[in-house]
Amino acid sequence: MSFENILIDIQGHIGLITINRPKKLNALNKATIEELHEAFKNLEEDPDVRVIIITGAGEKAFVAGADIAEFANFSVYEGSQLAAKGQELLFNLIENLSTPVIAAINGFALGGGLELAMACHFRVASDHARMGLPETSLGVIPGYGGTQRLPQLVGKGRAMEMILTAGMIGTEQALMSGLINHMVAQEQLIPFCEKIAGKIINNSPMAISSAIASINAGFGSNGYRKEIEAFGECFGTEDFKEGTTAFLEKRKADFPGE
């Protein structure tokens, strides 16, 4: 497997995926999403890989979101396709893998980055990580499953507050609210995830795959379809143009209100 935007390392039944665009804070552009799709499928098919860990290159970011520069000019149709394809290619794929996936959050996990971490089976974060869904500050909503998976993990009220304020939370608050399972020092992040992976590897792969499918079955909903439609509709609005343009021009967005 050879990729431009990600690194793969397989050792002792553990597949480590590192998203490697540190200059863009590992933002998820189309090419990275496609490469991640291939990598997850290949690792799932490799019988030697029993746990997958995903992290970001560098100390600053896990993933700072979907690549804003790439979608700022999208139409309503392109916006809804972006969400639908991303959910199918990557986010739903991860959630439904038989191989457990641990997100090792090594820094900013924002927007699509937090959505990626939430699609994983569980999350461990380093003590300086920051998490949030800032989409409403860009005139859009989370489109990679965030409106569904965040309430599943932290409850409706906390999810509402995070999405409506577009704010970020630190690792302690994320731990308290159930968004992450463990908080560790940065240098311990991967070794700690490997330790948990070691416990999983002792167990029956058949039973693990069956447990994942059963747990997921309790969370089915048509909310993901509603999210895709609503996400696409945002792309036809003045607020979306203002929000994304303001980010790219490195200024604060000015939303006039209705």
- Least Å distance, CB 128 to ligand COA, is 13
- Least Å distance, CB 250 to ligand COA, is 7
160: left (phi over 0), alpha (psi -120 to 50) or beta: alpha
Phi, psi of 148 (to 5 degrees): -100, -50
Residues 77, 167: Cα–Cα separation, whole Å: 28
Residue choice 18, 39, 51, 67 for contact with ligand COA (CB under 6 A)? 67
Total binding residues for ligand COA by CB under 6 A? 16
Instruction: Compare residues 100 and 139 and give the one whose CB is closer to ligand COA.
Output: 139
- Least Å distance, CB 112 to ligand COA, is 6
| Catalytic status, residue 258 | no
Contact yes or no for 190/55 (Cβ under 8 A)? yes
Q: Which residue out of 115, 187, 229, 249 is catalytically annotated?
A: 115
Instruction: Compare residues 24 and 241 and give the one whose CB is closer to ligand COA.
Output: 24
Instruction: Compare residues 90 and 97 and give the one whose CB is closer to ligand COA.
Output: 90
108 forms part of the interface with ligand COA (CB under 6 A)? yes
- Name the segment binding ligand COA (CB under 6 A); options: 22-30, 34-42, 176-184, 221-229: 22-30
64 forms part of the interface with ligand COA (CB under 6 A)? yes
Amino acid at 182: H
- Least Å distance, CB 110 to ligand COA, is 4
Residue choice 15, 79, 100, 112 for contact with ligand COA (CB under 6 A)? 112
194 forms part of the interface with ligand COA (CB under 6 A)? no
List, in sequence order, every beta strand (DSSP E) within 39-180.
Answer: 51-56, 61-63, 101-105, 108-110, 122-126, 130-132, 168-170
Amino acid at 203: N
List, in sequence order, every beta strand (DSSP E) within 80-157.
Answer: 101-105, 108-110, 122-126, 130-132
111 forms part of the interface with ligand COA (CB under 6 A)? yes
Residue choice 8, 19, 27, 82 for contact with ligand COA (CB under 6 A)? 27
65 forms part of the interface with ligand COA (CB under 6 A)? yes
Contact yes or no for 65/28 (Cβ under 8 A)? yes
How many other C-beta atoms can be found within 10 angstroms of the C-beta atom of residue 66? 29
Residue choice 35, 44, 95, 135 for contact with ligand COA (CB under 6 A)? 135
By DSSP bridging, strand 182-184 and strand 122-126 are: parallel
* Orientation angle between helical segments 156-165 and 146-154, nearest 10 degrees: 130
Residues 57, 8: Cα–Cα separation, whole Å: 12
- Least Å distance, CB 120 to ligand COA, is 18
91 forms part of the interface with ligand COA (CB under 6 A)? no
Q: Which residues contact 192 (CB under 8 A, 6 or more apart)?
A: 124, 182, 184
| Catalytic status, residue 4 | no
Q: Which residues bind ligand COA (CB under 6 A)?
A: 24-25, 27, 64-69, 108, 110-112, 134-135, 138
Task: Enumerate the active-site residues.
Answer: 115, 135
